[in-house]
Amino acid sequence: MNAPVYNFAYLDEQTKRMIRRAILKAVAIPGYQVPFASREMPMPYGWGTGGVQVTASILGPDDVLKVIDQGSDDTTNAVSIRNFFIKTAGVRTTTSTGEATVIQTRHRIPEAALGEHQILVFQVPIPEPLRFLEPRETETRRMHALADYGLMHVKLYEDIARHGHIATTYAYPVKVDSRYVMDPSPTPKFDNPKMSNCAALQLFGAGREKRVYAIPPHTGVESLDFEDHPFERYRLDGTCAFCGANDSFLDEVITDDRGGRMFVCSDTDYCETRRSQSGAAETMAEASVPR
């Protein structure tokens, strides 16, 4: 019943062709926002319509798809988008980062290193890094064209003046290939260094704003900062309650209403891989935690 209703991966071939052209242009000009004719998707804006369109247009029948939402394979957004592609493309899906060839992500980069055979697709709500500083689209485009990025530092200056340090923790602006300033989508700034010289192709799709941009493999990505206030990764000070990792990005989970809390890996696949490697030693800890 599924097969005849949709074209492979929902979008028709002409639409995919249009999006692929935009992607090619984006790859050719790293960090540059390429406009494309974003389609209505069977989900609301803000749920990843841009990422879904990019994924749909690069997906082939042999691909293995992984979808994560805040690092997790089993939250609403991830589950529904994975089911969408199971239904419309019939591709194999996985939760393993290593096995996947296409990974669609909402706001995290997996902890495991990515390889050249992989493509990471980001869902982007607001692609314009200068938007809240300069409301005019005509002006921000001109600023990009002239590499006129002083304003971006005004924002960082304000952070330091108000908080004593650069308080931007997500959507931290980066400069791609020493040219375009880009919004890395609302990923935590912990993930920023992973973007630089990444072996995988990184594609960014913004459905409502109708923009596609990209970081080609092995491209330098630099987080903006001041000489006397250099960029710093941020991570909660703790270890994962499940796998004991002290190098992964952590989520804080409130466990009761008396101040009880614990930290767990945001990347569920990374956490599970570590636990299966270290054997059953952790089952005690897991059993004691209500899920």
Partner 1 sequence: MTDTLQEEPLLIAEGLSKSYGRQLGCRDVSFELYEGEVMAVVGESGSGKTTLLNLLSTQIAPTAGRVLYRMRDGVTRDLAALGEAERRLLARTDWGFVHQDPAMGLRMGVSAGANVGERLMAVGWRHYGRIRGSATNWLHRVEIDPARIDDMPVTYSGGMRQRLQVARNLVTQPRLILMDEPTGGLDVSVQARLLDLLRGLTADLKLSVVLVTHDLAVARLLSHRITVMRQGEVIEAGLTDRVLDDPQEPYTQLLVASILPP
Give catalytic residues, as residue numbers. 31, 240, 243, 265, 271
Question: Residue 45: phi, psi to the nearest 5?
Answer: -55, 145
CB of 229 to partner 1, least distance (A): 5
SS (H, E, C) 93-131: ECCCCCCCCEEEEECCCCCCCCCCCCEEEEECCCCCCCC
Q: Spell out, one character per residue from 99 to 138, where the chain touches partner 1: x when CB under 8 A holds, - when not.
A: ----------------------------------------
Among 29, 43, 126, 160, interactor with partner 1 by CB under 8 A: 160
Between 146 and 284, whose beta carbon lies closer to partner 1?
146
Q: How many residues form the binding site for partner 1 (CB under 8 A)?
A: 17
**161 is a site residue for partner 1 (CB under 8 A):** yes
239 bridge partner residues: none
CB of 32 to partner 1, least distance (A): 17
CB of 69 to partner 1, least distance (A): 33
Between 5 and 161, whose beta carbon lies closer to partner 1?
161
Between 148 and 272, whose beta carbon lies closer to partner 1?
148
Between 160 and 285, whose beta carbon lies closer to partner 1?
160
Between 8 and 149, whose beta carbon lies closer to partner 1?
149
CB of 219 to partner 1, least distance (A): 22
Between 225 and 272, whose beta carbon lies closer to partner 1?
225
Q: Spell out, one character per residue from 140 to 159, where the chain touches partner 1: x when CB under 8 A holds, - when not.
A: --x---x-x-xx-xx--xx-
Q: Spell out, one character per residue from 202 to 241, where the chain touches partner 1: x when CB under 8 A holds, - when not.
A: -----------------------xxxxx------------
Neighbours of 261 (CB within 10 A): 11
Nearest Cα to Cα of residue 82 among 9, 152, 132: 9
CB of 220 to partner 1, least distance (A): 17
**246 is a site residue for partner 1 (CB under 8 A):** no
CB of 191 to partner 1, least distance (A): 23
**162 is a site residue for partner 1 (CB under 8 A):** yes
**Which residue ranges make up the site for partner 1 (CB under 8 A)?**
142, 146, 148, 150-151, 153-154, 157-158, 160-162, 225-229
